Structure 1
Amino acid sequence: MTDLNDVLKKHVGDGVAPGAVGLVARGDRAEVVAVGSADVEGAVPMGRDSIFRIASMTKPVTAAVMMLVEDGRIALNEPVRQWLPELAAPMVVRTPASPADDVVPADRVITVEDLLTFRAGYGFPSDFSLPAVRLLFSELKQGPPQPQLVPAPDAWMDALSRIPLLHQPGEEWLYNTCSDILGVLIARVSDRSLPEFLAERLFEPLGMTDTGFAVPAAKADRFAGYYRADPEGGGLLLVDAPDGQWARVPAFPSGAGGLVSTADDWYAFARMLLAGGDGGSGDGRRVLSEESVRLMTTDHLTQAQRDSGRLFLEGQGWGYGGSVDVEAIDPWNVPGRYGWVGGTGTAGHLTPATGAVSILLTQLEMAGPTPPPLMREFWRYAAGA
C-alpha cells in the first residue's frame, strides 16, 4: 500500500525537487514526512522543521485583513481610496489589448472586497503580453518573488497609480497583484508595517514561530535553497541561497508571495480556519470570527469569471486570498477545499467540511501555473483517491 513517503520519494532527486516535506491531516491525526535534502548537493537533510519560501501560499494569510474589518477599521464594501489615495481615480484601458495610454475612467471605485476577491482590475490574465500587464512586471516587479528588488510601499503604490486597470472594477478575476495591494492597505490602516501586524495579530497567537518575511541567521541552517530547472538541459539552477534575498526583511514585504514558513506553522494557520477562527489558545480569544472564515472560504466568482481565470484556477472558484474547489475535475478536487499553491513549489489546502489539511513544501520553482506531477499525486493521496 502506497504511503506518503512513497509518494514524495518518487518525485525527489534526479533533476527534480531535491527534497520535500508533506503533511496530510485528517481530523486530529497528522502524517508528516520529510524526504531528500534541503540543497541540491545533498549536504543538508530535509527536516520537518525546514523553512521554505512559500510564495503564493502567502495570499490566504494576507486575507487576515479581515481582522481589521472585525475591528471596525474598514468595511468590505468601503472604497479603498481613503487609505490608498493612489487608487482614488483609476483609469482602465479601453480594451484589454489597448496601449497603456488608451484609457477611460473607471466606472466605479475599488472596494476592499474587490481586492480580496481579485476583482479590482489589476493582475494577470491568461495573456501576459498585453501592454497593461507587461507594466506589472517591469514597474512593480510582479512575478516570481524577488523581495530585495521591489521598491518600498509608497514608491510601489506611486508606480501602480500610473498603470491602468485591465478591466473595470468587479468585472474580471485577475491573479496576484491584489494581494500586494492588500498588504499595503493592512499597513496603512493598522499604522504598522505588514510584518509587524501579521506577527502581532496572527503569527504570535498561533505559535507560527518560523513564519515571516526573512530568515534570521540563527535559523539559516534550516532554510532550504530555491531552484529552477535548467532550460539548457538537465539539472537545477540555484535561484536563491539561504543567505540570499530572504536574509533580511525587504523594503516591500509582499502580501502576494513574500513569506517563509514551515509545514507545522502553516498547519497552525489551517487549523485556526478549520476551527472557525479559534486559534486554540484556550483563553477564549479568537483570531477571526466564524463569519470571516466563512467569507474567506466561500467562492465569490461567477461562472464566467471562473472560466476566464481557468489558466490559474482550473475550474476552481476564489474566496478571499485563496481558491475554492467547485468542480470535480480530478479525484483530488473536494467541494469546498480552500487554499492555494506557490510558484516556488508549495501548496497548502484545507477542507472545512471534513477537517482535512494537506501541505506540500518543495524548493523547485513551478514552470508555470499548471501544478507539477508531484503536486497532483500528493493531492490524490491526501484525498484518498
Structure 2
Amino acid sequence: MSEVGGLPLASDAGAAGFDAARLDHMAAWMADMVGTGQVAGASTLLMRHGQVVDFRTFGKARLGDQAPLAADTMFRIYSMTKPVTAVAMMILFEEGRWRLDDPITKFLPEFEGQKVFAGMDADGSMRLEDATRPPSMRELMSHTAGLGYGLFDVHPVERAYGEKAVLSAGSLDELARRAADIPLMFQPGTEWFYSVASDLLGLIVERLSGQTLGAFLQDRIFGPLRMADTGFHTRADNEHRLAGLYADDGAGGLKTATHTFGVPIHDITTRPPFEGGGGGLVSTTTDYARFCQMILNRGELDGVRILSPETVALMGTNVIPDAVLDTTNPLRLLPFSRAFGFGLGFSIVLDPTALGVSEGRGTLSWGGGGGTWFWVDPASDIAFVGMIQRMADPVSDTFRRTARTFVYRALTHPEK
C-alpha cells in the first residue's frame, strides 16, 4: 500500500527522521488507555514532509460492539469545525468580501447597539454600559469580541447564554438574535473568551455566499481537498462507521454520552437544525489530516489551492493584543501569554522555549469537545491528528499532551 486516504506513505519512519521503536511507545500507551477502559478506541495519524509516517487505530468504535475502530471510522469533531469555518471565511476574505477591521454589525445588524456588562447590582441584575465601538471582524475571528458561549458557569454573561439557550436555537439567524440580546462580557478587544463566534462566522459565510454553510464548505473545501467523509450529516448507511461518544461514568469507567454541554446529541444521519460553524462536523482521521496538510502546505494540497500562502500566514499570526497577553484571567480557556497566542482560527505557539514545549515556533492547533485534537508544526514540517470520543475532561486532555511528548521524543533526526 502506497497511500492512505489519498495521502502518500513514507517509506519508513527513519527516512522521515523518526525512531520507529519510540513511535511504538506511543502506540503502546494508546493501547493501554484502551485496555484500561479510559476510551473505547483511538486513532492517530502522524505526517512529516507531506507523507504519512505513522497511522494506527486502537480498540473499538463502540463499546458492546465487536467492530474494531477502523481507518475510516467517523468521529464527531466538535470544535475542530472552527478552523474549517475560519478557512471558509478567509476564502471570502481573499475575494474582498470583508476586511479584518470591519465592524461585525456590517454583516450581523442584529448586534447594533449591543451593551457591555459592567458589574452586578444589589438586586442581582446586570449593570450595563455602552460599547466603545462594535466588535471588529478580527475580534470575532479570535474570540476577543466579548461574546459568551453558554458552556461554562463562570460569569453572568456566560450564564445568560445558557439561560437563553443560544446553542439550542432552531437556526443560525435565531442564534444570532438570541446572542445579540445578551450584553458583551467585556469591551471589544480587551479580553479573550471562548464563544459562539464561529457559529456567527458560519452565518456570515451564508449571508455573503448565498449558500448554506455546508454547501459552501463542500464546494470550496471538502470537495477540492477530497475530504469525502466530512460534513454536517452523513448517509444512513454510514451510521455503522460512527464512533460512539462516551463520558466519565464517575466510577472509573465510561457511559454513553447523550448530551454535549447540555445540548442533546444530534443524529448525524439527519440534517441538524442549523449547520454550526463552531462544532457541527463529523470527519475521519484521514480527511482531517488532508485539511491539516493543506494548512501545512500554506494553502495547497495535491495541486489544489484553497488559500494563498500569505493568507495562511495571516491566520497563523497572533491577534490577541499585548495588553491581554500580559495579564492572566481564570476565565480564559487557555493560558495565553507572549509565548502562546491565538490567530484567525487557531492557537499559536509563539515562543516554544518560554512555553516549555517541543513543538516549533508557529505551531497551530485546536481540539474538539469529544476528545479530538490536531496540531500543525511548520518548523518541523509535522501534522498530527488524534481522534478519541471521550467528552472533554482531564483524561481526554492527557491524550493531547502525551501524544505531543511521544512524537517529539521520537523525532531523533529532525534534520532529515
Q: Taking structure 1 as reference, are residues 49 and 332 closer, same or farther at Cα in structure 2, changes over 3 Å only? A: farther
Give distance in 2, aligned partners of 1:267 and 1:367.
24
Question: Amino acid of the residue matched to residue 139 of structure 2?
Answer: D
Q: Report if the CA contact (8 A) 2:33-2:39 is conserved.
A: yes
Aligned equivalents of 2:211 and 2:328: distance in 1?
A: 36
For residue 51 of structure 1, report the CA deviation from its aligned partner.
0.5
Measured in 1, the distance between the counterparts of 2:300 and 2:378 equals: 13
Is the CA contact 1:125–1:174 (under 8 Å) kept in the aligned structure 2? no
Pairing 1:266-277 to 2, within 5 Å after superposition:
266-277=288-299
Specify whether residues 318 and 159 from structure 1 end up closer, same or farther in structure 2 by C-alpha distance, changes over 3 A only.
Answer: same
The answer to whether the Cα contact below 8 Å between 1:8 and 1:22 also exists between their aligned partners in 2 is no
Output the TM-score relative to the length of structure 1.
0.90
Q: Measure how far apart 1:276 and its partner are.
A: 1.4
Q: Alpha-carbon deviation of 1:383? A: 2.3
> What per-residue deviation string (whole Å, max 9, x for no partner) do you get for residues 81-110 of structure 1?
132111122110113899664211111122
Structure 1 residue matching 2:160: 3-state secondary structure? helix
Is 1:8 matched with 2:30? yes
Q: Which runs of 5+ in 2 are unaligned?
A: 1-20, 260-264, 411-416
Q: Assess if the C-alpha contact under 8 Å between 2:316 and 2:362 holds in 1.
A: yes
Which amino acid in the other structure matches residue 292 of structure 2?
A
Match of 2:131 among 84, 102, 106: 106
The reply to whether residue 224 of structure 1 matches residue 224 of structure 2 is: no
- Work out which of the residue numbers 368, 371, 374 in structure 2 matches 1:345: 371
- Match of 2:333, SS? helix
Alignment partners' CA distance in 1, 2:368 and 2:209 = 27
Mark the CA change 1:302 to 1:73 in structure 2 (over 3 Å): closer, same or farther.
closer
Count of aligned pairs: 373
> Match of 1:53?
76
Q: How far is the alpha carbon of 1:182 from its aligned partner?
A: 0.9
What is the correspondence of 1:192-207 to structure 2 with a 5 Å cutoff? Answer: 192-207=211-226
Q: Is 1:86 matched up with 2:110?
A: yes
Q: Any stretches of 5+ residues in structure 1 without a counterpart? A: 143-148
Counterpart-to-counterpart distance in 2, 1:141 and 1:327: 36
Tell me which structure has the larger Cα radius of gyration: 2
Give per-residue Cα distances to partners, 1:148-173, cap 9 Å, x unaligned: x4421121111111110001111111
- Please give the TM-score of this superposition, normalised by the length of structure 2: 0.83
**Would the alpha carbon gap of residues 371 and 317 (structure 1) be closer, same or farther in structure 2, given more than 3 Å must change?**
farther
Contact 1:215 1:247 survives alignment (8 Å): yes
Q: Percent identity?
A: 32
Distance 2:93 2:143 in 1: 17
Distance 1:371 1:46, change over 3 A: closer
Q: 1:290 to 1:140 in 2, by over 3 A?
A: farther
Q: 1: distance between equivalents of 2:121 and 2:143? A: 20
Structure 1 contact 52–261 (Cα < 8 Å) conserved: yes
**CA RMSD, aligned part only?**
2.4
Q: Aligned pair 1:265/2:287, yes or no?
A: yes
Matches within 5 A, 1:340-379: 340-367=366-393, 372-379=397-404
Distance of aligned partners of 1:174 and 1:68 in 2 relative to their CA distance in 1, 3 Å threshold: same
1:164 is matched with 183
**What is the rounded CA distance, in whole Å, between the counterparts of 2:151 and 2:351 in structure 1?**
20
Secondary structure of 1:33's partner?
A: strand
> Residues 48 and 127 from structure 1, CA distance in 2 versus in 1: closer, same or farther, beyond 3 angstroms?
closer
The one-letter amino acid of 1:55's match is Y
Listed as ranges, the matches of 1:1-385 within 5 Å are: 1-2=21-22, 3=24, 4-30=26-52, 31-64=54-87, 65-95=89-119, 101-123=126-148, 128-142=153-167, 149-231=168-250, 233-240=251-258, 245-280=267-302, 282=303, 286-306=305-325, 307-308=327-328, 311-315=332-336, 316-328=340-352, 329-367=355-393, 372-384=397-409
